[in-house]
Structure 1
Amino acid sequence: MPGKFVTPTEKSVDDMLGMLFGDVTVTTGGAVPAEGFGARMIDDENQLVAMIVCDYPFVGFSGAALSMMPAGGAEDMIAEKDFSKTIMDNFYEVMNICSRLFMSDTSEHLRLEKTVMPDSLAGEISALAAGTNVTFKLAIPKYGSGNISFLIA
């Protein structure tokens, strides 16, 4: 499957998420988050072909920023690792938008199947362990920073 999908870059992540959150700061590096939430990406045959894995701060800050909820509320949910339905719905939408980062005019099509809860994350990640992965730290203005990893089978 190598080559069927695009590996996101610092610039592509900055461009895409900058449209959502304003003047974001994106830096490359780090490991795939060991704890957090994921998003399963499937192809037209319903096979897992990619994932996005985000740590708790990314989930909380991106979910809150999308609806312009107070940063303090997001910080509390991050500390408790317990997110409201609104934050999780917004996280789903952010992941749906980020699915576009795996595609180009010449790549195959994929789509967001579902988000993955923390208790299932390790098993999901292991299915893509042999593939390509890249991690970014993203700072969302007025909220905070979190990590987002893109894994491709």
Structure 2
Amino acid sequence: MTKTPLPSAKQTRELLEGLFGREMAVLTGGPMVDPAGPGGAVVAEYISDQMQLAALVVMDVPMAARAGAAIALMPSSASEAAVDDGELTDVLLENAGEILNVVASLFNAEGAPHVRLNAVHAPNEALPGDVAPWVMSYVARLDLECDIAGYGPGALSVLVL
């Protein structure tokens, strides 16, 4: 059995564009999204069928707000209020969680362990002890600067452990 694969920027962009039904610009080499930074971040943890932590996806608040609004076809003003306040509404957080659930498909490749979403942690929520050390680690990772057409920019980090 092979290791959980790190998706490419192209695979990530195509999946998200399909979910949003709109184009999205993606640049690689962005900064690592730090949940301890200003505003915090949404952290999704993915586990294997053997209950092993396999991957993480970290969205800064602007990305989570804009993606959450885009998937629900909400006006961009709904996400801008959350970006300005630095706080996600329950609806935007729930929508971001739905997106992160679908993102699990990026980690499931033939011959690799099956991976599924285990938990989504809201911005500024304390992370479990087995998750926190990995978020800013130099593991196989993809740090992206994203711009959702009609909604705006945000940052996304994808890590496999």
CA deviation map 1:101-128 (0-9, x unaligned):
1121222111001101323249534136
Q: How does 1:1-153 map to 2 (within 5 A)?
A: 4-21=3-20, 22-34=22-34, 35-117=40-122, 118-121=124-127, 124-127=131-134, 129=137, 131-153=139-161
The two structures have a TM-score, normalised by structure 1, of: 0.90
Cα distance change on mapping 1:86 and 1:99 into 2, 3 Å: same
Q: Distance in 2 between matches of 1:139 and 1:37?
A: 17
Question: Which consecutive unaligned segments of at least 5 residues does structure 2 have?
Answer: 35-39
Q: Distance in 1 between matches of 2:139 and 2:28?
A: 18
CA deviation map 1:66-117 (0-9, x unaligned):
1111111211111212222211111011001111111212221110011013
Contact 2:9 2:142 in 1 (8 A): no
Greater CA drift, 52-61 or 42-51: 42-51
The two structures have a TM-score, normalised by structure 2, of: 0.86
Please tell me the root mean square deviation across aligned C-alpha atoms, in Å.
1.9
Cα distance change on mapping 1:137 and 1:116 into 2, 3 Å: same
CA deviation map 1:23-74 (0-9, x unaligned):
1111111222113111010111222111000101110000000111111121
Aligned-partner SS, 1:119: coil
Identity %: 28
Q: Distance in 1 between matches of 2:89 and 2:114?
A: 31
Matched positions, count: 152
Contact 1:37 1:121 in 2 (8 A): no
Residue type at the aligned position of 1:140? I
Residue type at the aligned position of 1:26? V
Moved beyond 6 Å, runs of 4+ = none
Greater share of residues in helix: 1
Q: Distance in 2 between matches of 1:147 and 1:25?
A: 11
